[in-house]
Structures are given as structure tokens and as C-alpha cells.
């Protein structure tokens, strides 16, 4: 995104406060780059290991753009020593992350100190915080020339359903045309984490607006319903997604390296839309039995694939362990498939013309990236809001299929189920229709050119920038 000198306002500073998990860190770091492109300084706060993780895994932005962001590496409580409660085996949520939720409260004091310091140097301090960091930024309301905006990292659909008490019946009253098979909340999140999330949302109320990593092109109906049920009609809502760079930018390395990842070089040799990309995010590990079934399903499908096979991140964002595949698997699929055990450049893979499908856990980050790049999805939800994203993708937008039914989440997904799903997505009439629909969404988002809808999408960010850089009158305009 090009810099907009009209909004270049050194009197305003933006402070980004992400939640320290990869999907959350990534979204606000993308947004930080967009903000700096308008000539506005950005301070990105978090713990040292998580800031390092976010920078290391970012793709699509130049190193020059990244250097314009001021990173603050604060010390978190030693969360690694806090043992989580005994996990409920029926819930596949990554319980080892649980201490991190409670450790984030210790960021409140250093962030408050930073905000007070910046409030002396700038006429307006704008705090953009993850919805899970609401109680951490409560001191904003005590600073006269500061204002806050909550960033919603999930889909508008998931957010709307949450405001309705996760009651499908209430949602159907508002939107009777929706398909009736919304996945249940059962098994999505442990009770303690659900209570933490509820507490963060209940602490909202003093923010000046809400930012959604989505587009009205994708979720206009749900954004309109959110605005309709809002108790504060004056609250400003901005749909600022997708935050990831466009196709051309995604194919540029952010760290200045000229050497492209080996999987991208391999994709260069494949036919258009012929390769299935398989990745399940940073918080999920498959069992050995499930890994074997997936390997067999991919092999027997006969379709080309790139499979990112790695265990879930440790609590500090990194893992050294490797997953294993059946003996001889990689030799048998050589030339047809590739197994990647390191962190893969997902944006660049999805942007590549040879990529024709994405088997995904359906985290919202991955959904937005896939849609913006025009790639249909094979949904394999694991936990959290992913079952709802799976429903949105497959039933509402109709740009994907479901591999793992949420009601059968405790059952092994067999190789035959996987094989059939791959064939449907990659080589069926239904799959072709899904590809056409997601290509239309990508075009409307500006994935391949600047359509009228894409221009309106860009206008949403411009409007937000215009608002936060409005004329400062006295201490706060």
C-alpha cells in the first residue's frame, strides 16, 4: 500500500497491542505496516519472544517498511512455570497456551507507562488493541489525549453469534435465510478460557470504535446486523480487512532475501491451480494415527500437494520437534508432493498461480488470506471459532467443503474421506464452482486488480485514518 501524504500527521501516534499468539500477532503487525504507509508512527508492544516471532514469520512487506515500526519488548511473567489445569480430553484446544492468557495482565503497567510518555510527545495517542487485551489497556481512559479502538481478530459472523449468546435461534430471527446447521459451541474452548474471553468483552465500553479484519464484500450482512444490535449507535465500526498484502506484494520477501523458499521454486514447475496446500496453523498437532491417514489420503488422491507438517508452537511461539510420516511416503510422492517441516511462506504459496486449493484448520487469518488470494478451502476445524469459520466458508459463502464435521470431531478422519475431499475440491464440478466464487471475492477485494468494490474496501481504511488524524483541538479533537 502506498503512502498517503494527505494523512501524514506527526501529531498522532498509534500503539498496537496484540495478543501474544501467532494468529493475533500477525494481523496487527500487518495493520501496523498499513498505518505507517500513511506516514503515521506506530509502536508495537509485546514480549520479546513474541515480537521476534511475529517479525520472523511476516511476509509481504519490505524490510524498509518494517523498520518504520517501533517495537517494545516487555517482560511477561514467567508463564512457562505456570501449569495449566488438568485438560478436558474432549476439548482439543491447545491447553499449553492457557497460562499465557493470564500472564498478559502483567503488560498493563509497562504499556500504561509507554502511553503516558507518548501522550507528552504527541497531541493524540491512538491505541489499537486486540479484543483479548481489553483489561490490559484500561489506563487509556485516564489519559486526556488518548483514545482506543478494539480490534476484532475473528470473523464478523463469529462475533455476531457471540453477542447473541452463541444462540443460533436468535441469529436465525435476525437472518432467517442462513443454513440451519451451525456447529455447536461444545468442544471449542475450555471453560476457563471462555470466561477469560467473556471478561475481556464485558470490559469494553470506553473504546471510540471497533475494527474488524473482514470486508463488507465478504461479511456485509453480518456487519450490518452487528451495527443494528449495537447498544451504542455512535460507535464507529470499520471493516478494514484483508490486512495482508495483495498478490504482487505477497510474492516479495519482507526480509530482503533474494532466495525464494524451495516450495515456491517447486510451485513454479507445476500447472496452474494444480496443487493443494495443506496446513493447520500454529496451535494444532495431529496424532500419529491421524497423520498417517492424511498421508494415505493425499497419496491416493493422485493430486499434487504441499503439506506443512509441524507440531503446534510452544508457548513462546517456537517448536523444534518434527512430525513423522509413514515409511517411504516422501519417496513415493516425490515429484507429486512436498512435505515442509519448517515455517512456510503461506501468503506466497496461496498467491502462487499453481495453488488451487487449501486444506486448512480455518483460523480466520488463514481464511482471509485464502479468500483474498482466490483459493477455495477444504475445512478441517480444530478448536476455538474454527468450526464457525468452517460453516461460513462452506455453507454461507460456498467457497469450500468440510473435511472434518464438527459433530464427529472425536473420530479419526479416514484416508478415504480425505481422498474424496481432495478430489471434490480439486477436480469436480462443485469444486470448479467454488473456485469461481472465491475468484469473484478475490477480485472484489483487489486480489488481482482494483475493482469498484476493492476501492470501497480501501476507502474504509482511508476513513479510519481520516478519523484518527482529524484536527486536534485543544488536547483532543
Active site residues: 24, 130
Least Cα distance to 397 among 212, 153, 156, 151 occurs for: 156
Phi and psi torsions of 325, nearest 5°:
-115, 165
Tell me the sheet residues that pair with 128.
16, 149
- Residue with grid cell 502462487, as numbered in its chain: 352
| Segments in 97-239 forming alpha helices (H) | 98-103, 108-121, 156-163, 168-174, 191-202, 216-229
Least Cα distance to 347 among 208, 416, 245, 207 occurs for: 245
Exposure of 20 in the CB half-sphere (CA atoms within 13 A): 32
Asked if 240 contacts 210 with a C-beta cutoff of 8 angstroms, the reply is no
Q: What angle do CA 294, 183, 307 make, to 5 degrees?
A: 20
Q: Among positive and negative, which fits the CA dihedral 61, 97, 361, 396?
A: negative
> CB under 8 Å to 430, separation ≥6 — which residues?
401, 424
Write out the E strands in 341-471. 355-360, 377-379, 400-402
Chain CA centroid to CA 452, Å: 25
> CB under 8 Å to 190, separation ≥6 — which residues?
87, 88, 91, 93, 95, 98
Residue 203: all three cell numbers together: 470490559
> Other CB atoms closer than 10 Å to residue 268's CB: what's the count?
11
Asked if 172 contacts 65 with a C-beta cutoff of 8 angstroms, the reply is no
Alpha carbons 187 and 409: distance in angstroms, whole number? 9
DSSP assignment letter at 322 = B
Amino acid at each position: 500500500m502506498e503512502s498517503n501524504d494527505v494523512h501524514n500527521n506527526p501529531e498522532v501516534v498509534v500503539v498496537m497491542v496484540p495478543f501474544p499468539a501467532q494468529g493475533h500477532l500477525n494481523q496487527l503487525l500487518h495493520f501496523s505496516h498499513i498505518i505507517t504507509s500513511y506516514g503515521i508512527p506506530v509502536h508495537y508492544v509485546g514480549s520479546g519472544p513474541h515480537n521476534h516471532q511475529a517479525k520472523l514469520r511476516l511476509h509481504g512487506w519490505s524490510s524498509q517498511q518494517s523498520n518504520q515500526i517501533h517495537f517494545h519488548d516487555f517482560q511477561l511473567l514467567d508463564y512457562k512455570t505456570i501449569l495449566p489445569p488438568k485438560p478436558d480430553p474432549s476439548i482439543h484446544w491447545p491447553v499449553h497456551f492457557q497460562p499465557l492468557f493470564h500472564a498478559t495482565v502483567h503488560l498493563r503497567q509497562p504499556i500504561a507507562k509507554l502511553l503516558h510518555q507518548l501522550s507528552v510527545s504527541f497531541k493524540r495517542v491512538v491505541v489499537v488493541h486486540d479484543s483479548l487485551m481489553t483489561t490490559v489497556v484500561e489506563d487509556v481512559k485516564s489519559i486526556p489525549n488518548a483514545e482506543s479502538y478494539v480490534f476484532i481478530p475473528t470473523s464478523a459472523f463469529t462475533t455476531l453469534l457471540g453477542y447473541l449468546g452463541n444462540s443460533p435461534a436468535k441469529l436465525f430471527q435476525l437472518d432467517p435465510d442462513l443454513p440451519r446447521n451451525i456447529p455447536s459451541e461444545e468442544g471449542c474452548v475450555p471453560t476457563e478460557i471462555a470466561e477469560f474471553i467473556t471478561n475481556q468483552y464485558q470490559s469494553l465500553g470506553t473504546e471510540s470504535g471497533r475494527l474488524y479484519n473482514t470486508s463488507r464484500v465478504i461479511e456485509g450482512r453480518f456487519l450490518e446486523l452487528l451495527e443494528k444490535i449495537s447498544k451504542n449507535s455512535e460507535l464507529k465500526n470499520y471493516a478494514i480487512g484483508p490486512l495482508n498484502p495483495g498478490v504482487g506484494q505477497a510474492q516479495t520477501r519482507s526480509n530482503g532475501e533474494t532466495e525464494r523458499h524451495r516450495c515456491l521454486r517447486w510451485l513454479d514447475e507445476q500447472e496452474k491451480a494444480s496443487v493443494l496446500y495443506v496446513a493447520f496453523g500454529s496451535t494444532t498437532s495431529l496424532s500419529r494415527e491421524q497423520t498417517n491417514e492424511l498421508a494415505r489420503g493425499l497419496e491416493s488422491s493422485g493430486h499434487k500437494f504441499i503439506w506443512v507438517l509441524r507440531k503446534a508452537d510452544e508457548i513462546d511461539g517456537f517448536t523444534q520437534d518434527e512430525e513423522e510420516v509413514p515409511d517411504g511416503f516422501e519417496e513415493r510422492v516425490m515429484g507429486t508432493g512436498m512435505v515442509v517441516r519448517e515455517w512456510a511462506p503461506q501468503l506466497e504459496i496461496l498467491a502462487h498461480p499453481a495453488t488451487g486449493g487449501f486444506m486448512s484448520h480455518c483460523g480466520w487469518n488463514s481464511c482471509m488470506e485464502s479468500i483474498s488470494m482466490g483459493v477455495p478451502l477444504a475445512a478441517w476445524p480444530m478448536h476455538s471459532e474454527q468450526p464457525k469459520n468452517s460453516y461460513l466458508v462452506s455453507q454461507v459463502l460456498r467457497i469450500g467443503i468440510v473435511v472434518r464435521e464438527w459433530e464427529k470431531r472425536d473420530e479419526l478422519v479416514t484416508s478415504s474421506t480425505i481422498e474424496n475431499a481432495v478430489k471434490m475440491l480439486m477436480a469436480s464440478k462443485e469444486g470448479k464452482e467454488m473456485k469461481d466464487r472465491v475468484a469473484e471475492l478475490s477480485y472484489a477485494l483487489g486480489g488481482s486488480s482494483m475493482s469498484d468494490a476493492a476501492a470501497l474496501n480501501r476507502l474504509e481504511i482511508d476513513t479510519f485514518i481520516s478519523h484518527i488524524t482529524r484536527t486536534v483541538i485543544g488536547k483532543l479533537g
